[in-house]
A and B are shown apart, each in its own frame.
Chain A
Amino acid sequence: FETSLDHDEL
């Protein structure tokens, strides 16, 4: 897996 974008919501 590559680093994902910042998904801090559910």
Chain B
Amino acid sequence: MNIFRFAGDMTHLASVLVLLLKIHTIKSCAGVSLKTQELYAIVFATRYLDIFTDFISLYNTFMKLVFLGSSFSIVWYMRSHKIVRRSYDKDQDTFRHYFLIVPCLLLAMIINEKFTFREVLWTFSLFLEAVAILPQLVLLQRTRNIDNLTGQYIFLLGAYRAFYIFNWIYRYFTEPHYVHWIPWIAGLLQTLLYGDFFYYYFHSWKNNKKLQLPA
């Protein structure tokens, strides 16, 4: 494992912890898209089907369990916790899951490294992760009020994606035959989706102002 991959995993972990911390301590999920969180739960559930069959390292298994556990607990908090669920912006968070799920599934059935149940679902999880942030970005655009924790959550997610790209570049040059077009293209697309958000995030940070997206 190289430093970029590790930094990517750590910022990913930090993003999830920031979100859980916000929900658990403030008992509020205002500004957080349940649609995005449910998509992430699907992403991890379909990607980590190999969790009990293929052992890579203790680190990998542990992180998989953390991402599965945290994504499902966030969904549980937002749907079922009697206080947290009241702060959910249900009327604003109207993005439809299946607009993203169905095309990703069809695409994964056409484009994959091997047409098997696990490979197709693994590819589906990559495509879905690439677009899963969209409901969250739409919600931010609509409500326009972004508290610090929600802003940090999205910033950390974007940082995670950026580190993964550096990791792929590093591995491409250091490991023979390391070529994986599907995750690279999906990952690049995903990172680009954060571009706009990053621009406003740095802008507000530089001017020491509260993060606000344009209408």
Q: Using CB atoms and an 8 Å cutoff, list the residues of chain A in contact with chain B.
A: 1-2, 4-5, 7-10
What 7 new A-B contacts, CB under 8 Å, besides A1-B50, A10-B63, A10-B67?
A2-B117, A4-B119, A5-B119, A7-B122, A8-B56, A8-B60, A9-B183
**Given known A-B contacts A4-B50, A4-B54, A5-B113, A10 and B118 have beta carbons under 8 A apart:** no
User: Main SS of chain A's interface residues?
Assistant: loop
In the complex, what residues of B have CB within 8 A of residue A4's CB?
A: 50, 54, 116, 118-119, 122
Q: How far is the CA of A9 from the CA of B117 in the complex (A)?
A: 19
| B12 proximal to A (CB < 8 A) | yes
Interface residues of B, Cβ cutoff 8 Å to A: 5, 9, 12, 47, 49-50, 53-54, 56, 60, 63-64, 67, 113-114, 116-119, 122, 164, 167, 183
Chain A residues with CB below 8 A from B164, complex form: 9
Q: Are B50 and A7 in contact (CB under 8 A)?
A: yes
User: How many whole Å from A5's CB to the nearest CB in chain B?
Assistant: 6
The 4 closest A-B pairs by CB, nearest first: A2-B116, A8-B56, A4-B118, A10-B63
Inter-chain contact A1/B114, CB cutoff 8 Å: no
**A1 B5 Cβ-Cβ under 8 A:** no
Bound Cα distance from A10 to B38, whole angstroms = 18
A-B contact pairs, 17 of them (CB 8 A): A1-B49, A1-B50, A1-B118, A2-B117, A2-B118, A4-B50, A4-B116, A4-B122, A5-B113, A5-B114, A5-B119, A7-B50, A7-B54, A8-B56, A9-B183, A10-B9, A10-B60
* A1 pairs with B122, CB closer than 8 A: no
Q: Inside 8 A of A1's CB, which chain B residues have their CB?
A: 49-50, 53, 117-118
Tell me, in angstroms, the Cα distance from A8 to B64 when the chains sit together. Answer: 11
Q: How far is it, in angstroms, between the C-alpha of A7 and the C-alpha of B116 when the chains are bound?
A: 14
How far, in whole Å, are A9 and B12 apart by their CA atoms in the complex?
A: 13
Given the contacts A4-B54, A4-B122, A10 and B12 also touching, CB distance less than 8 Å: yes
